Structure 1
């Protein structure tokens, strides 16, 4: 789960999607917090698989590797006779190191060496990024930004690091530290470089924007001047998959009036800023303020959204029902006539498969299975959905509504599986990932921090009333089946207190303590209990409802968690699906939940928002139904039948 430091007020911990090694539907990068950067480097042929078929996103990056990433990302082509004593011509990254050195982006040590195999420190990486900024001629100005540990940064590097922070290329930890001597992973390095490329593209497309004018903070206007020249808004026509220029205008308003048919768009600095139909894709990680819930949502890069409208500076979008506005610079508008691909759903042998489209490489990048396919989905046909609930065909015609059981099952449910069965599944799954041969899962059956957790998970289920299988699915998803560095070294299965590229690195005494922290400090008060800071329904859900609204920027995080639950069920015999809970969603905000089937007593709590999933245990109470309380409360609770909708879950 991407948790950028600018989103710390939104998100509580990192979501890392783990590769299913023997699952053809996803790879190790699907949903990884640095997925966009990693896939960018792969597309540039800068990042290659190792002998085990892994991109090693969580391994520490070396100086030679980072130099290669920069050389490939910037398409460096000129090299002179610069040499380093420890970089022979036969060295695997020799050419790229020479290219980066020729561009002035890297330098060696005073003894003539480069130390290509040494792990690169954060401060050295920041300096290389700023040299790349200079190479790209990106205006940078000066900055007074400091970090709490500024004194530990080498004095010659402090200004570069401050500029890098101001440009948004580098970020500190949640407590204001930069950690200059810490090393970065391959994934983190990819994000740094990806930010650099996004910044360069932004400068190229909009050279007069205030953020590109030496960062002086002056307000700007896209319809104003361009170094003294009148800015032009060009109306173009979509013809046979290309854009053909029709007419130029001095203002956006004039260009908008000239949009006489659906095939016309408005461009500014070669960027489409207005269209009639199509969809919007985020260029980077953004915060979208939802007018529906009056709150911000973190949204990952390459997220597809519905296009509603736009002007010269912002775009009105809808994401899983949430309406809000984003800056033109943060998104790409893709008219229907120029669409090369789009994420879609299919029925694969009775299971629902979601195939994701990567808009950076313009390729279908990954896919995953997360449950049974709804009955209306026919094999061989593609379906589309903005929220993972309502599905259409390619023409936009409605085909059906489907709630995946594991995705929309409230957390207060109990699993049918015993501690022994959970342990049995854990060992079975660890044997599967170990047999994949991936280096990350070497000796997983003996080293994984998930081993023997069955009794702990069931104890939490009894005492905290949170589904044991749900917590296991979270742990598998976030910790690489208990094999991630945070799990192995810090007993941290859930990435708690891990922000952006810098973790707080809090060490837990045991994985049991880590689970209790997740339950008591995060899920229980913030995501499940009504009125909690991030409560949008006590289900993993999607961006439409549930934990996923605030918990993760990946819009499909909830579906991927559901996939872990589904695979466990599949391995153990579908006990939970065979004896399902009846689930409903509330249809109005301000709905009171009562201690009995009447209005005679004060409510236990109130659902301030609509669309809150609940578990119905008895619907035969003369206009009332009995539910399992979302608030920690052992007795039944009651709500009026008039304000709920029973949903047919797919299982």
Structure 2
């Protein structure tokens, strides 16, 4: 057959030979208009009115070029009148503009003749910025794109070991690393990946480090004390291990176990705080890591031991062994030491409302069944030894009604404010009433504040709802440890501690099942971790085989209670 290379002309103004039909864009734009928000793996389908000749130089007549005039590695396929232009294997680059070229040299079979296109066609298009890119993460923290995809699922399907997925230059999935909460005041963590109020578990503060577990397009899974929890992508930043500039860690010395908290957004460590005594399996001067402050791993990721901070999980129902005079001795010595440092502690021995507070603390302990040492430690932590603005001007030692969104404090006192208390005694009494009504009362287990009777962490105890700082319970426990050590160690490890071994654990008035249930860790529907409630065993062992004698959580009745031995998993403490 003889090939005639002639130009194709219009017939009756109805058809243009080898005319492109509208390209398959969602908005059906005109043929040569620029198309925007095109997916990274876009496949252009071009329909001609006559069969296209698959000539050896087809890729020279139909091709895609980027803004730098570089021809892209697209794949051209022909089926009769239809030509498909498939995106490069790595996809188009997010946010970049490309041009699809169909030159006048494109050949078509018109009857018995081979003809060229009358005029060239160009179709500019811009790739959407919502492109999921699979990246290789280098040890120096940089990355290189290996492929681009229009959806998370497609990117995830191509993911190889050690790679991450990015969207708009932000990681949405990483091989390992950390999760840092963003600038919003409080980030909600959820018990289930359904982000409804029904599953809201707790809130954590800005720039808090969480342990990364996994991610999908819909959520980020974090691990808190071996418990899976979930956060929204928009609330957090994922930080691959290779790019992290620091990490929270623990280190032990002769004074005890210290926690160094790192903030990934600010790139700074907090001043270390003491948690408690050094567990024997931790070597001095070595960095260890833990998601819950109990199970510790070394730099090789090996678990070296499990041990719980005693005062962090001790029931506040246990009275302290220290007298009012001994508590005052500690308070006064600490205020004197702080005063020597100057600054905000100037005249602390005179101005601090903690001064000579021992008798009030012991009175509250007796009346409300709340450990005086516990209250003192909480006041020290929340009010900075009584020198905070709210303590000085509002008689508020515990941050009552001072929320994360309402931390402002003025020396021009508003006595009508809910943050204001007429006296320090009123403030402490208000704290005791609030704790006994909501946080520490198993008979009010339905209240959202109740999550177990202990300082705890972000999974169990007061810390779940009392403070957004996930280490609030550990820090307050550290103050209890310091006070106890300074005064002679009378309280330390006087009781054995444990946790409920399952949900529905019953606590009874005697070592027998006979309609004598004092309370039960049970709700008809709840996301509370009632299978991990802290239990403090009585210092007086049970005389009945198969039963444990436990400290009562009830606000009024201090008589020891009982539960069967299988209901409690006891733990070692430091």
**1:232 corresponds to which of 100, 123, 131:** 131
Counterpart CA distance in 2 for 1:323 and 1:227 is 40
Residues 207-226 of structure 1 aligned to structure 2 (within 5 Å): none
Match status 1:455 vs 2:354: no
1:598 alignment partner in structure 2: 512
1:622 alignment partner in structure 2: 545
2:430 alignment partner in structure 1: 517
Counterpart CA distance in 2 for 1:513 and 1:490 is 11
Measured against aligned partners, the alpha-carbon deviations of 1:261-285 in whole angstroms (never above 9, x if no partner) come to: x221111111011122222221233
Counterpart CA distance in 1 for 2:199 and 2:208 is 21
Q: Which has the higher contact order (CA 8 A, sep 6+)?
A: 1
Match status 1:643 vs 2:558: no
Structure 2 unaligned segments of length 5 or more: list them.
1-93, 96-124, 409-416, 523-529
Measured against aligned partners, the alpha-carbon deviations of 1:381-427 in whole angstroms (never above 9, x if no partner) come to: 21110111111112221111111111111111111110011111111
Shift of 1:350: 4.8
Match status 1:482 vs 2:382: no
Distance of aligned partners of 1:256 and 1:641 in 2 relative to their CA distance in 1, 3 Å threshold:
same
2:28 alignment partner in structure 1: none
Shift of 1:505: 4.8
Counterpart CA distance in 1 for 2:256 and 2:174 is 36
Q: 1:604 is paired with a residue of what secondary structure?
A: strand
**2:164 corresponds to which of 265, 268, 277:** 265
Distance of aligned partners of 1:236 and 1:447 in 2 relative to their CA distance in 1, 3 Å threshold:
same
TM-score, length-normalised on structure 2?
Answer: 0.70
| Residues 595 and 601, structure 1, Cα contact 8 Å, conserved in 2 | no
Counterpart CA distance in 2 for 1:347 and 1:620 is 39
Q: Which is greater in Rg?
A: 2
1:396 alignment partner in structure 2: 301
Measured against aligned partners, the alpha-carbon deviations of 1:221-269 in whole angstroms (never above 9, x if no partner) come to: xxxxx99836321111012322112122222222111112x22111111
2:144 alignment partner in structure 1: 244
Shift of 1:600: 0.9
Counterpart CA distance in 2 for 1:619 and 1:648 is 20
TM-score, length-normalised on structure 1?
Answer: 0.62
Residues 193-342 of structure 1 aligned to structure 2 (within 5 Å): 229=128, 231-241=130-140, 242-260=142-160, 262-284=161-183, 285-291=186-192, 294-342=199-247
Distance of aligned partners of 1:361 and 1:246 in 2 relative to their CA distance in 1, 3 Å threshold:
same
Shift of 1:523: 0.9
Counterpart CA distance in 1 for 2:126 and 2:395 is 56
Counterpart CA distance in 2 for 1:516 and 1:264 is 55
Shift of 1:303: 2.0
Distance of aligned partners of 1:619 and 1:291 in 2 relative to their CA distance in 1, 3 Å threshold:
farther
Q: 2:341 is paired with a residue of what secondary structure?
A: coil
Q: 1:456 is paired with a residue of what secondary structure?
A: helix
1:126 alignment partner in structure 2: none
Residues 372-383 of structure 1 aligned to structure 2 (within 5 Å): 372-383=277-288
| Residues 274 and 309, structure 1, Cα contact 8 Å, conserved in 2 | yes
1:610 alignment partner in structure 2: 531
Q: 1:403 is paired with a residue of what secondary structure?
A: coil
Distance of aligned partners of 1:469 and 1:236 in 2 relative to their CA distance in 1, 3 Å threshold:
same
Counterpart CA distance in 2 for 1:244 and 1:365 is 33
Measured against aligned partners, the alpha-carbon deviations of 1:59-86 in whole angstroms (never above 9, x if no partner) come to: xxxxxxxxxxxxxxxxxxxxxxxxxxxx
Match status 1:576 vs 2:491: yes
Measured against aligned partners, the alpha-carbon deviations of 1:440-483 in whole angstroms (never above 9, x if no partner) come to: 21111011111121111111111111100000000111112112
Counterpart CA distance in 2 for 1:448 and 1:310 is 48
Counterpart CA distance in 2 for 1:446 and 1:380 is 39
| Residues 188 and 200, structure 2, Cα contact 8 Å, conserved in 1 | no
| Residues 356 and 364, structure 1, Cα contact 8 Å, conserved in 2 | yes
Distance of aligned partners of 1:229 and 1:294 in 2 relative to their CA distance in 1, 3 Å threshold:
closer
Q: 2:231 is paired with a residue of what secondary structure?
A: strand
Q: 1:536 is paired with a residue of what secondary structure?
A: coil
Measured against aligned partners, the alpha-carbon deviations of 1:9-34 in whole angstroms (never above 9, x if no partner) come to: xxxxxxxxxxxxxxxxxxxxxxxxxx
Residues 546-565 of structure 1 aligned to structure 2 (within 5 Å): 546-565=461-480
Q: 2:325 is paired with a residue of what secondary structure?
A: helix
Distance of aligned partners of 1:473 and 1:230 in 2 relative to their CA distance in 1, 3 Å threshold:
closer
Q: 2:332 is paired with a residue of what secondary structure?
A: helix
Q: 1:560 is paired with a residue of what secondary structure?
A: helix
Match status 1:527 vs 2:442: no
Counterpart CA distance in 2 for 1:649 and 1:230 is 52
Q: CA RMSD in A?
A: 2.2
Distance of aligned partners of 1:230 and 1:484 in 2 relative to their CA distance in 1, 3 Å threshold:
closer
| Residues 233 and 266, structure 1, Cα contact 8 Å, conserved in 2 | yes
| Residues 290 and 322, structure 1, Cα contact 8 Å, conserved in 2 | no
Q: 2:272 is paired with a residue of what secondary structure?
A: strand
Measured against aligned partners, the alpha-carbon deviations of 1:322-344 in whole angstroms (never above 9, x if no partner) come to: 42322212111122232332100
Counterpart CA distance in 1 for 2:128 and 2:244 is 33
| Residues 490 and 505, structure 1, Cα contact 8 Å, conserved in 2 | no
Counterpart CA distance in 2 for 1:256 and 1:303 is 27
Q: Name which of structure 1's ranges 358-367 and 454-463 shifts more when overlaid on structure 2.
A: 358-367
Shift of 1:352: 0.3
Q: 1:524 is paired with a residue of what secondary structure?
A: helix
Counterpart CA distance in 1 for 2:310 and 2:293 is 12
| Residues 291 and 322, structure 1, Cα contact 8 Å, conserved in 2 | no
Residues 416-495 of structure 1 aligned to structure 2 (within 5 Å): 416-438=321-343, 440-495=344-399
